[in-house]
Amino acid sequence: MGSSVKFNWEDAFNINSLLTNEERILRDSVQAFCQSNLQPRVVKDYRNELTGSPDAAKALFREFGSLGILGCTLQGYGCAGVGSVGGGLVAREIERVDSGYRSTYSVQSSLVMGTIHAFGSEEQKSKYLPELGKGNLIGCFGLTEPNAGSDVANMSTRAVYDSSTESYILNGEKTWISNAPIADLAIIWAKCNDQVKGFIIERDTPGYTSDVIKGKLGLRASVTGSIALDNVRVGKQQALPLANSYKAPFTVLNSARYGISWGVLGAAEFCLSAARSYMLDRVQFGRPLAANQIPQLKFANMLSEISLGLISCYQVGRLKDFNQETPEMISILKRNNCSKALAIARTARDMLGGNGISDEYHVMRHVNNLEVVNTYEGTEDVHALILGRAITGIQAFQ
């Protein structure tokens, strides 16, 4: 007997039926906000890098804060405490508009607030998390260096403890740091003796400076910069007491990568929908372009990759809430979903022909953004090596 259920191409595996009512409400409210508040201004923000202006950036953070989504997966300290799937749905809706907006959101939520929540003292959590969650404070996460990207073990930033003043002195450089030029505080990772330690450094600390990285061709709706640390002295109360090894930054990076894996699929969904509308509306040789076999094949391929990516994100999210996920699962998601989303955006750009390169159609902007997202927080090849090690038991990198 045939099924009476109608297939919905916009939710091929009916993930909506798997969500809790709270998750649906969260998704719908964030989607409404993004479409009414972010979509109308994204072209202007991308053209002019408007979020690089302190006033515009702070306004965006306060908007996110008023919506209650900053650090929304964290418990306590004014945070919403939603599950991992709920957090992923938020990232998906923001990145449906733009990856730069989502990067702005996820750095604050996962990398900054997540680090303080997991590795900070009670005093640090109480001082910083409520204000970060409201968007009154902006944070950044300083790990990458000019000569240490994927090779984090060779970071050159150093922290030296001065027992006479119970303080640390930090020297070094960080680069490609999202939010850095507008951040009120930075999570800085440095080597201290044989350990990697994390520090909360406030913007007005003497010796701390940041500059904007200009000329980006992607993520232009978010601001990226470099950080210089010249004999920056901070009291021991600014050190994260539980962040004393490489496991600390990698733990929060894994959570951020999980959110990215949801987010890029939002961008891919936009590109599929835009290409579909364009092909249905554009008539050539007496019929819509969508009536031809090759466009329909491309649509089928795009939909398949998006749907498989979404159901994978859902499964790992449910596991994550019970601490049953592994870093390798996250590597599969980040590697697969980012590369597939980029391929989908490129295909959609091609399907729009000459109009595909106009920012008014949005697709080329998504292509440029996804080129960046496919690289940061672990390149496709680095995640392949992580998986290769898990498969063979042999580590192919130092």
Q: What is the pLDDT of residues 203-231, one digit of tens each?
A: 999 999 999 999 999 999 999 999 999 99
pTM metric for this prediction: 0.95
Write the burial class of residue 1 (CB in 10 Å: 0-12 exposed, 13-18 middle, 19+ buried). exposed
Residue type, 232: V
Distance CA 364, CA 357 (A): 5
Predicted local distance difference test score (pLDDT) of residue 54: 77
Predicted local distance difference test score (pLDDT) of residue 350: 98
Overall average pLDDT of the 376-382 stretch: 89
Angle at 214 between CA 42 and CA 378, to 5 degrees: 80
Overall average pLDDT of the 172-192 stretch: 96
Decide if pLDDT at 197 tops 60: yes
Distance CA 361, CA 352 (A): 9
Q: What is the pLDDT of residues 93-122, one digit of tens each?
A: 999 999 999 999 999 999 999 999 999 999
What separation, in Å, do the N-terminal and C-terminal C-alpha atoms of the chain show?
Answer: 57
The CA distances from residue 32 to 39, 67, 90, 94, 344, in Å, are 10, 11, 11, 10, 24
Predicted local distance difference test score (pLDDT) of residue 52: 66
Predicted local distance difference test score (pLDDT) of residue 2: 61
Decide if pLDDT at 315 tops 70: yes
Q: Mean of the per-residue pLDDT values for the chain?
A: 95
Return the percentage of the chain with pLDDT > 90, whole number. Answer: 90
For the chain, helix (H) and strand (E) counts, in that order, are: 12, 11
Q: Which residue, among 58, 65, 66, 109, has the nearest Cα to 87 in the 3D structure?
A: 109
Residue type, 275: A
Contact in structure between 213 and 176 (CB atoms under 8 Å): yes
Decide if pLDDT at 302 tops 90: yes
Among all chains, which residue has been given the structure tokens 């930090």?
170
Q: What is the pLDDT of residues 261-301, one digit of tens each?
A: 999 999 999 999 999 999 999 999 999 999 999 999 999 99
Among all chains, which residue has been given the structure tokens 């959101």?
105
Over its C-alpha atoms, the chain yields an Rg (Å, rounded) of: 22
Q: Which fold is adopted by the domain 140-238? A: Butyryl-CoA Dehydrogenase, subunit A; domain 2 (2.40.110)
The pair phi, psi for residue 15, each rounded to 5°, is -65, -30
**Catalytic member of 123, 325, 377, 380:** 377
Angle at 323 between CA 116 and CA 328, to 5 degrees: 95
Predicted local distance difference test score (pLDDT) of residue 150: 66
Q: What is the pLDDT of residues 20-57, one digit of tens each?
A: 999 999 999 999 999 999 999 999 999 988 766 778 88
The pair phi, psi for residue 30, each rounded to 5°, is -70, -40
Predicted local distance difference test score (pLDDT) of residue 377: 86
Asked if 377 is an active-site residue, the reply is yes
Segments making up each domain of the chain, as ranges: 9-138, 140-238, 247-392
State whether CATH 1.10.540.10 applies to domain 9-138.
yes
Decide if pLDDT at 3 tops 80: no
Overall average pLDDT of the 177-184 stretch: 95
State whether CATH 1.20.140.10 applies to domain 247-392.
yes
Predicted local distance difference test score (pLDDT) of residue 374: 95
List alpha helices for the chain, DSSP H: 21-33, 42-48, 54-67, 84-97, 99-106, 114-119, 122-134, 247-281, 293-320, 327-351, 363-373, 380-392
Predicted local distance difference test score (pLDDT) of residue 87: 98
Decide if pLDDT at 1 tops 60: no
Secondary structure percentages of the chain, helix, strand, coil, to 5: 60, 15, 25
Distance CA 113, CA 61 (A): 13
Decide if pLDDT at 143 tops 60: yes
